[in-house]
């Protein structure tokens, strides 16, 4: 029940109508009787600064940020955590006394999803497809878990090289960059494959990695999610005996981490999970 003291949370993006986040967060608040409500706000790119200022003066507790604003948010914030600073992308903001703190919980969400699937990351050789915000956040979070080697394959080798340099500065020493043409070399002896490109979002998208690289003994993690549908990457990997982590599990756990930041409570993961399953 919404009360006079209900704290407001939001997803700011465009489009936002398809998002599972309101269902996921509100289910946990209802289950545990927390006085928060989460809504979707469709904001035009040009209006982002005004929307963020509005969120602060209206004393929202915080918000999530999604496409196309994840990068444009950075200069509008007062403080950034390491994940947001290095990835150059924010997905969670906490507001306290008009101070806006930006976080990136996407990488931590993928790590939690891997742990749930029984995938050990320490010392592993990882093939990372993509070098955008999600890829950077995952790379950093995997680095904190002690992955052994990170092999980045990206459409633009320039973007991948920039990411490699930032990761090395952050302390990840064994990071290599490849073009898609050199994917076979990058995939050699890989133990964990991560898709952090948008390939798989649309019907007819090619697989981000050829099927011969999806097999038993490997873990395949997809950042992409399509509500109610498995991506082709996850389907092919599962059929070939690989362990899989879907984008839905990453979404769930990035939400768990965001909710912890906003409420200070341990989120009701069961309620959140049931709401999006
Ligand atoms: P981004 O910052 O725009 O980065 C996109 C990356 O994918 C870039 O490296 C880009 O390469 C590459 N790419 C784009 N189109 C491509 C194509 N047609 N073929 C090959 N590579 C392509 O996006 P992002 O925020 O990292 O998001 C990536 C995906 O992760 C999206 O599908 C997003 O929905 C998903 N995601 C999911 C979660 C979750 O909770 N499950 C959280 C965050 C993101 P260039 O560098 O060459 O441009």
Tracing tokens 């998208």 back to the chain, one arrives at: 205
Q: Is the distance from the beta carbon of residue 132 to the nearest atom of ligand 1 less than 6 Å?
A: yes
Place of tokens 């899989």: 244
What residues form DSSP beta bridges with 42? 13
Query: Which residues of the chain are modeled with pLDDT < 70?
Result: none
Q: In which order are the strands placed within the sheet that holds 92-96? A: 36-42, 7-13, 62-65, 92-96, 99-103, 79-80
Which of 16, 24, 114, 119 has the alpha carbon at shortest distance from 65? 16
The model's pTM is 0.97
* CA nearest neighbour of 264 among 80, 62, 81: 62
Q: Which tens digits make up the pLDDT trace of 192-248?
A: 999 999 999 999 999 999 999 999 999 999 999 998 899 999 999 999 999 999 999
Task: Give me the catalytic one of 5, 59, 70, 166.
Answer: 70
The Cα–Cα gap between 125 and 277 comes to 31
Cβ(263)–Cβ(240) below 8 Å: no
Annotated catalytic, 166?
no
For a substitution probing ligand 1, which of 197, 227, 254 has the most ligand atoms within 8 Å of its CB?
197
Q: What is the pLDDT of residue 228?
A: 86
Using the mean position of ligand 1's atoms as its centre, give its distance from the Cα of residue 4 in Å: 40
Element (H, E) at 149: strand 149-153
Per-residue model confidence (pLDDT) at position 125: 98
Supply the residue whose CA is at minimum distance from atom 5 of ligand 1: 132
């Amino acid at each position: 029940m919404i009360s006079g003291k209900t704290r407001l949370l939001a997803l700011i993006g465009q489009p936002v109508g398809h998002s599972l986040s309101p269902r996921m967060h509100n289910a946990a608040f209802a289950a545990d009787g927390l006085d928060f409500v989460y809504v979707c706000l469709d904001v035009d790119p040009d209006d982002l600064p005004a929307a963020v200022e509005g969120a602060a003066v209206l004393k929202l507790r915080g918000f999530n940020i999604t496409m196309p604003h994840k990068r444009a948010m950075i200069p509008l914030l007062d403080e950034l955590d390491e994940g947001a600073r290095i990835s150059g992308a924010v997905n969670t903001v906490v507001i306290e006394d008009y101070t806006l703190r930006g976080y990136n919980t996407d990488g931590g969400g993928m790590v939690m999803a891997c742990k749930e699937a029984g995938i050990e990351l320490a010392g592993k050789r990882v093939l990372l497809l993509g070098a955008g915000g999600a890829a950077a956040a995952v790379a950093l979070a995997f680095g904190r878990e002690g992955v052994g080697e990170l092999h980045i394959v990206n459409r633009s080798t320039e973007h991948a090289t920039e990411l490699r340099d930032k990761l090395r500065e952050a302390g990840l020493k064994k990071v290599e960059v490849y073009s898609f043409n050199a994917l076979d070399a990058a995939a050699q002896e890989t133990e964990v494959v991560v898709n952090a490109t948008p390939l798989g979002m649309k019907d007819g998208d090619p697989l981000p990695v050829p099927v011969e690289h999806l097999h038993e003994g490997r873990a395949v993690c997809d950042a992409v999610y399509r509500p109610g549908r498995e991506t082709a990457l996850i389907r092919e990997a599962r059929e070939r005996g690989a362990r899989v982590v879907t984008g839905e599990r990453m979404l769930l756990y990035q939400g768990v981490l965001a909710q912890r930041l906003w409420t200070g409570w341990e989120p009701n993961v069961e309620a959140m999970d049931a709401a999006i399953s």
